[in-house]
Structure 1
Amino acid sequence: MASSPSKKVLVPIADGTEPMEAVITIDVLRRSGADVTVASAASDLRVDACWGIKLVADSLISDCKGSSFDLIALPGGMPGSASLRDCEVLEEMVRKQSESGGINAAICAAPAVALGSWGLLKGLKATCYPAFMDKLPADVTKVESRVQVDGKVVTSRGAGTAIEFSLALIEMLYGKEKSEEVAGPMVTRPHHGEDYTMMELNPVEWKYDHDTPQVLVPIANGSEEMEAVMIIDILRRAKANVVVASVEDGLEIVASRKVKIVADKLLDEAVKLQYDLIVLPGGLPGAPAFTNSAKLVDLLKKQAESNKPYGAICASPALVLEPHGLLKGKKATAYPAMCSKLSDKSESENRVVVDGNLITSRGPGTSMEFALAIVEKFFGREKALDLARSLVFV
């Protein structure tokens, strides 16, 4: 079958953009083969997204003015949505997109704050973040769908619906078959909106010494950006102190789907601190970069020896923890194609596995459950469920 021509997509970002929504949209659409341009509505390519996550755009929105796109997808977040609304070049592009019959999409606060205020939802069914529903204009039919498609406009509710939103956009661009082809390898949830669960064996209490857990999230060139960003974002929402450390020579890494993320510090500096949890995102070649980092492996071994929590998702349980003896006597899971590398595969079909002080998970589509399970272990299930509800995940 001949491959479909690449569709052109614009994802604008601004200071205060919700990073999960932006990164999930970019990553998932790039998996479909779409040519995605990440454009900054700020004066600089680097954007300070919500939750202290720093992203670097491919270009400025002003540089995209003359280009045409099959889809323009606006992430939410505040004040990011307001910054997108106030960007005149973007407004002009989105209006032209609407007039020419292209697809416009927005998630979270952006349907109300941007598309609604520009008058581009008039007479349409639309949804948005629950707290912004009353900000949708009166001429919009408000619906509480997780994703709403009306003609050439797609709207969605929040970070917890971002994967569904992105897959709906692939279906609009390429058809249902392509959407399903992308969804499968991501290990997406079989039933969206339901409670999350984890398989827990040998339960122990996860303790922390300070006011809040100190968490290390290493990143490398080729780390899976959805996994990294969901872990960082959700743990910071729970008020954990998360240090994002680059194992590369510089702070900026280029993730597996070419999203550029800026770490807080280099691993050399980060290893001087003590952590209540070290958690590894997956991705290739990110996971091999972790396994080749003697300093990171040494830190992980010390963490395990002192019975402190550590975890990994996707390729990292199989490519980092297993070869360094960090799964010995433990039940774990990993990315489906990597599970053959686990010495004990008995619990590997579970989406999230907690065995004492170890937590592992399967892939991008299980990342939110993985991060929420960490929140549950540190702060209790009620806090995790409150967070899941605020994300519109459950």
Structure 2
Amino acid sequence: MYGVKIMADELLADCAAASYDLIVLPGGVPGAANLGACATLEGMVRKHVEKGGLYAAICAAPPLALASWCLLDGHKATGHPWFVEKFPPEVTAVDANVVVDGNAVTGTGPATSMEFVLALVEQLYGKEKVEQIAKPMLVRYEGGYSMNELNSVQWHCSGTPKVLLPLGNGIEEMEAIIIVDALRRANADVVVASAEDGVVVTARHGTRIVADVMLDEAADRAPFDLIIVPGGMPGAKTLGGCEQLVALLKKQAEANRPYGAIGAATAHVLEPHGLLKGKKATTCASMAGLLADDSECENRVVVDGNVITSRSPGTAMEYAVAVVEEARRLAEGLLFLG
């Protein structure tokens, strides 16, 4: 929806005859409407439901896809507030982040996607597996976000903020995608650049992300108003060893322009190259010992002057919101949030 390019594993037509334990539909517009209009997908989901399979949808997909196929008739369901009125009378709309009714699971939107996914994990594996996943990711269920801001400074740019987000194989896909998505929703000009041999980067959990450009080309567009480095291993180590990226970050720091990292990237990209000197920062618990100053590592998001850091995939949404909040200050007199 906001230009993040993900490469599919297969064409839908090639896996239409396969059996699955779960079929889940993402939201977004016009994507959800396109899914609802796909006869092949409708046929797959219908057969799956008839066999008693678990099925799910989030955001606009519950009303625009599942409900349009009458697969939520007689069920309680939720969806994005902008689209719940699209539910037919046969569906009982519920004001909740996630609704589980029989084998149907529905969710409201991007900010509740973690809660939605963990509900699916619980249905497939049980609550114990949810705890195993959620705890190390630092997932929390209450609304809002927390940010510890130290040594507040005014970030500056003229016009729309220009942001660089580099990628390497093995980066944490949630951290990268959520940050890009949030900034592009705020109308920032985000350049996703590959530090690998090609534009297709394979993330830590197998998601293939297609970068906008190679890092060489992105470097020609410098300077950037903001550089954000996603974490994940071994991606963070790869990015930490990328001389071109390190050079860009050092120039960013020398010019007192904003930069940041999340998770392992704080420890493996910023810290080893002196980019946290005199700064407070946070990172994932397992790597806190790699920071010269780990006094802020219990905080989910830390802003110290022109440096903004966070901890893990479970804090990625809060980090993205905090980055957008700081980036809002970048545009001098320009209200770029749509």
Tell me by how many angstroms 1:378 deviates.
2.3
2:277 & 2:193 partners in 1: Cα distance? Answer: 26
1:297 aligns to 2:246 (yes or no): yes
Q: How does 1:1-394 map to 2 (within 5 A)?
A: 50-189=1-140, 191-192=141-142, 194-209=143-158, 211-273=159-221, 274-379=223-328
Gapped runs of 5+ residues in structure 2? Answer: 330-335
Which residue of structure 1 lines up, in the alignment, with residue 332 of structure 2?
Answer: none
Q: Deviations over 1:139-167 (max 9, x none)?
A: 11110110000000000000001110000
Paired amino acid for 2:153: V
2:228 & 2:127 partners in 1: Cα distance? Answer: 34
2:182 & 2:281 partners in 1: Cα distance? Answer: 22
Q: Deviations over 1:238-294 (max 9, x none)?
A: 011000000011011111011011101000111112101000000111101111100
Tell me by how many angstroms 1:180 deviates.
1.1
Tell me by how many angstroms 1:342 deviates.
0.7
TM-score, normalised by the number of residues in structure 1: 0.83
> For this pair of structures, how many residues does the alignment match?
331
1:298 & 1:332 partners in 2: Cα distance? Answer: 20
2:67 & 2:293 partners in 1: Cα distance? Answer: 52
2:315 & 2:157 partners in 1: Cα distance? Answer: 25
2:144 & 2:305 partners in 1: Cα distance? Answer: 22
2:8 & 2:324 partners in 1: Cα distance? Answer: 30
Q: Deviations over 1:110-151 (max 9, x none)?
A: 000000000010111000000001001111111011000000
User: Which 4+ stretches in 1 moved above 6 angstroms?
Assistant: none
TM-score, normalised by the number of residues in structure 2: 0.96
Paired amino acid for 1:172: Q
2:177 & 2:44 partners in 1: Cα distance? Answer: 28
1:254 & 1:137 partners in 2: Cα distance? Answer: 40
Gapped runs of 5+ residues in structure 1? Answer: 1-49, 381-385
2:20 & 2:284 partners in 1: Cα distance? Answer: 33
